[in-house]
Structure 1
Amino acid sequence: MEAIKRFFSFEGLSAKFCGAAFLALGAALLAFPKEVQEATLSSVIYCLTVLVPSLFPFMALTSFAVTSGAGIALSRVLGFLSRYVFRLPKVCTASLLMSFLGGYPAGARGVSLLWKQGSITREQAGRMMLFCVNPGIAFVVTFLGGTVLGSFSAGWLLFLSVTAAGILLGVFTGLFAKFPEEKFVPVPAVPGGAVIRSAVDACSGILKMSACVVLFSGFTAILHGSGLYQFFVKLLSGPGPFSQPEAAAALSFFIEVTGGVGDAAKFQVSPLFYAFGLAFAGLCVHLQVFSFFEEFPVSKCKFFLFRFLHGFLAAGIYSLLSRVFPSAVNTAVLSGSPVAISGGLSATVAGALSLLLLCSAFLLLLGRDCETRQTVIK
């Protein structure tokens, strides 16, 4: 009886929640093994064919810009944008560019490195994390526009909408901030060279992202198999303005952005859902962003609030741009099926798998050395 009373008390609530979640998820894995297996297999193929090839170069480039003199050299040319538009130090220029061009985790990785080096303050890092979470140009234009929607023009329109919304949020967060005091930031001496370090950072980041995508795909499969997903869809579509297909796409985007893309394509919902979902980024990306920091520099409630603001603002901008460029919307042909990777699959998977294995080899061979210098994400 005492054990039961202690379990239902408020002491150690976090541990109790984790224990209950462990039991529930363990039971769900035994109840829906086939669904979880199929979902994780599909997500692994997605990671190998889309995520790794498109994001790995940008992750490496972001780390290289921060750990070498490239970012400092770039700040001398474009640093005025960081200082006068976002009221951030000029050394943030490269990380800002990568956050808008390189994909969701590239910005977070750059911010965490700058903060760890002492190049920016906690307040500046926190402000950056309110708007430096954006989809990459390769994912939105090439994959979503060219493959899923069948229109590169539609992909460009979505990319411009989400990026413009992020820039506006960045300007807004800096309105009441003081102009930063520029200080000399020496380029850190990295044994082995900045190229190797950037490769190791990118390896660690891409492995972590892939693991999160696979994990969330399994979780989503459990939600489908248990009926909870269908329950929440009916709950969202009942009193609200959404139809059931729109509610399903919105819920998928809330959980994980690639799953949202697949469901939005399958249900052929309005492109506004793509704009909102890409800007919001999904819980899977949010957890990846948190993992780059030992201590997150801004309140997570504020972070989530700005994710929703980013989503609604991107949807509004897309609505305006679609009226200015209606041909880009009209030429978008929805696939009518979940996101599928086809055409040359074996070669693409083999190449990406080789890259993923090289990532693992880098971490195994250089992990201890990198941990000593605190370069690998923990």
Structure 2
Amino acid sequence: MKKKYVYLFLTAVLFLYLLCRPGQASGAAAAGILLWFRSLLPVLLPFFILSGLLTALDGTASLTRLIYPVLRRCFGCSPEGCFCLVAGFLCGYPVGARTAGDLVRNRKISREEGQYLLSFCNNASPAFLTGYCLTDCLKLPKLVPLSLGLIYGVPLLYGMIVRKGRMFPILSAEKKTSGSQISFKIVDACIMDGLESILKLGGYVILFSMLAQLLKELPLPSPVLTCIGTGLLEITNGIADTAVCPGLSGNTAWSLAMAFAAFGGLSGTAQTESMIQGSGLSTGAYLKAKAGTSLIVFLLCGLLCLYSASSGF
């Protein structure tokens, strides 16, 4: 019930924003559409379609055959779970969530393994971090190796810790799809499923772009608070605002940007929830794990900045 009232409140706020500030609201929506069209559509739609085909044709385990022994030892995951782990770290939000949800719904992995993987395998892509975040916005390309180590090292360490020695079961497939069963019906279904997913993401990007713009127009006492609020809502706008916020030093801006990237924003959480519907996976548990990971990344960034300042680097 509480979630319902939150959704009703946000819907009413955005509706009033559209009525009272139509120019600003439509501008934010247009920016969200451009972000979706230029960044998400060409990257994620092909992956959604191809990953759906791989799952339908029982091909996910084959792609990770070489690295499975290492990942099994470190994370206890099944062969199909290894595909979720790799995809979630390489392809960006919300690919990890989409892959975990698909594998659980298709009974390729257990729900317990899916929840475990979801807690640390849904991350910002290396291309987003190195290109948009560190090079275009923060102008800190020299920090790319360190930043990638933090953003990906902390979740990997988290996954090893919360595993608690578990070895997740390898579920036996009921019946693999044979060559004679492969048809364009499977391809059509995967294309339609991919299109549905990418359209959902576009809707969330538009709504959260409007919320971020509304937040910027509120009379908050400090631009730093506005920057933090925007970053918690949506990481693309939040990182861009962090880079130009007048009340932040370079070290603090970098630390906040890394924390926003590790968290993924409430927009990323909403996208994740849409990707795992019908799988039984918990959005609340995912949100707690991402918040904890983000806090650890922020604290580590702060410690590194203090060490750099004290040592003269």
Q: Deviations over 1:173-198 (max 9, x none)?
A: 21242x22334335445542766555
Report the secondary structure of 1:77's partner residue: coil
Give 1:184-199 correspondences, 5 Å limit. 184-185=172-173, 186-188=175-177, 191-192=183-184, 197-199=189-191
**AA of the residue aligned to 2:241:** D
Report the secondary structure of 1:103's partner residue: coil
Which structure 2 residue ranges, 5 or more long, are not aligned? none
Check 1:65–1:78 CA distance in 2 against 1; reply closer, same or farther (3 A cut).
farther
Separation (CA, whole Å) in 1 of partners of 2:44 and 2:11: 32
**Match for residue 260 of structure 2?**
277
Separation (CA, whole Å) in 1 of partners of 2:303 and 2:51: 32
Q: TM-score, normalised by structure 2?
A: 0.83
**Match among 234, 243, 253 for residue 231 of structure 2:** 253
Which structure 1 residue ranges, 5 or more long, are not aligned? 1-11, 235-243, 331-378
Separation (CA, whole Å) in 1 of partners of 2:145 and 2:207: 30
**AA of the residue aligned to 1:291:** S
Q: Give the conservation status (yes or no) of the 8 Å contact 1:157–1:318.
A: no
Residue 111 of structure 1 and its aligned partner are, at CA, apart by: 0.6
Separation (CA, whole Å) in 2 of partners of 1:91 and 1:295: 19
Check 1:19–1:157 CA distance in 2 against 1; reply closer, same or farther (3 A cut).
closer
Q: TM-score, normalised by structure 1?
A: 0.70
**Match among 63, 76, 83 for residue 65 of structure 2:** 76
Q: Give the conservation status (yes or no) of the 8 Å contact 2:75–2:163.
A: yes
Is 2:185 the counterpart of 1:207?
Answer: no
Check 1:59–1:17 CA distance in 2 against 1; reply closer, same or farther (3 A cut).
closer
Residue 287 of structure 1 and its aligned partner are, at CA, apart by: 0.7
Kindly name which structure, 1 or 2, has the bigger radius of gyration based on alpha carbons: 1
**Match among 6, 10, 18 for residue 29 of structure 1:** 18
**AA of the residue aligned to 1:260:** G
**Match for residue 123 of structure 1?**
112
What is the number of residues matched between the two proteins?
301
Is 2:198 the counterpart of 1:182?
Answer: no
Is 2:166 the counterpart of 1:170?
Answer: no
Q: Deviations over 1:163-218 (max 9, x none)?
A: 111111211221242x2233433544554276655544433322221221111111
Q: Deviations over 1:243-285 (max 9, x none)?
A: x343322211111111111211221642111111001111111
Separation (CA, whole Å) in 2 of partners of 1:325 and 1:262: 24
Separation (CA, whole Å) in 2 of partners of 1:125 and 1:258: 27
Q: Please provide the CA RMSD for this pair.
A: 3.0
Report the secondary structure of 2:109's partner residue: coil
Q: Give the conservation status (yes or no) of the 8 Å contact 1:82–1:92.
A: no
**Match among 189, 210, 226 for residue 218 of structure 1:** 210
Is 2:36 the counterpart of 1:47?
Answer: yes
Q: Give the conservation status (yes or no) of the 8 Å contact 2:263–2:294.
A: yes
Residue 110 of structure 1 and its aligned partner are, at CA, apart by: 0.8
User: Please, which moves more after superposition, 148-157 or 126-135?
Assistant: 148-157
Residue 54 of structure 1 and its aligned partner are, at CA, apart by: 3.6
Q: Give the conservation status (yes or no) of the 8 Å contact 2:113–2:168.
A: no
